[in-house]
Amino acid sequence: MHELSVMQGILEVVLRHAGKSGVSRVEAVNLQVGALSHLREEWMQKYFDHLTRDSVAEGAALRVERVPAVLSCRECGARFEWEGEGSPICPSCASQRADLISGREYTVASLEAV
Ligand SMILES: [Zn+2]
């Protein structure tokens, strides 16, 4: 049920934005989701459809863009992006010891509305 609580949070943001700009209908929501997030898109849309019933965002399409995780190397401090596949390796010093800076978050990047 992780997706459901996430979608509730996203919907709150969407409705707040929509209310502020006085839109009558939200057509699409552009989301950025970190590469390490375990959110599954088919469930996100399903819950979103359920939650937006009778709201200005009813029927809106979710467009999910995956963004790379950002890691900080423990050896040299370099920050680098990681797609989430295999083991992260620092491009500066080839160390495999790194701390996660971001990669599990999700943000509402923009709304398309009328
Ligand atoms: Zn390094």
pLDDT at 46 exceeding the cut of 80: yes
Q: Kindly report the pTM of this predicted structure.
A: 0.83
Ligand 1 (ion): which residues have CB within 5 A?
73, 75-76, 78, 90, 92-93, 95
pLDDT band at 109 (very low <50, low <70, confident <90, very high): very high
Instruction: Report how far ligand 1's centroid is from the alpha carbon of 37 (Å).
Output: 24
Predicted local confidence at residue 100, as pLDDT: 96
User: Domains plus CATH for the chain?
Assistant: 2-113 (3.30.2320.80)
Instruction: Report how far ligand 1's centroid is from the alpha carbon of 92 (Å).
Output: 5
User: Which residues partner with 72 through β-bridges?
Assistant: 79, 99
Predicted local confidence at residue 99, as pLDDT: 97
Instruction: Report how far ligand 1's centroid is from the alpha carbon of 106 (Å).
Output: 26
Q: What is the pLDDT of residues 72-87, one digit of tens each?
A: 999 999 999 999 989 9
pLDDT at 1 exceeding the cut of 70: no
